[in-house]
Structure 1
């Protein structure tokens, strides 16, 4: 899936095991735009797994944080991480679920979610999310 689509390969090592001793635990991501709740991060499913929001918390994706090499990755399941697509013509820098080999590095920057790979904040356009520093959204990690 990831290696053949022409994007930069960022993780050549084997996917790290989840640290079950981590104090962070599972959480869902609530999204706001200009202080107005937008819903909960999820993906639209196959074939591309673009990130969108759902209005109900129960339907949102359950996330865990994976610390590896001094960075934090947001994991949904094995080989299924929050990332973006840098070379897509229509959805350039669009957020999507991808494999470990192109998983993005993340950091909470105040109430914003910052990708350390392209140094951009998550923004929203229509029903889609991008790493383009436009219409920047606020996020809240809600523990389960």
Structure 2
């Protein structure tokens, strides 16, 4: 196995570990995979859409998301990894309809920590029907 493949697989394991912690409701576990200055970029068309910076803002987002999606129902269909980038194809239940919301999360990893998470939605379910919170 080459060094690049090794780094790729390590980074894939970081993302998969973060999702596993999220499904368990283990906030400290999720935080253990994030850099102190992590950036999470949610599309601005969503009620909670904006760029979140740092673990405190990430926690604020994590407290808002259960109003829209069942964060403990994360299904990771597959991941694609290449060096410091990992993409995950994900489904999460919409809290209003119970239907799956599908999206891709693109992660950038540096020094073993997630430094950026950019989210690309395929369908947003009932989220657009709810008032903005940011």
Work out whether the TM-score is over 0.5: no
Give the shorter-chain TM-score range. under 0.3
TM-score using structure 2 length: 0.28
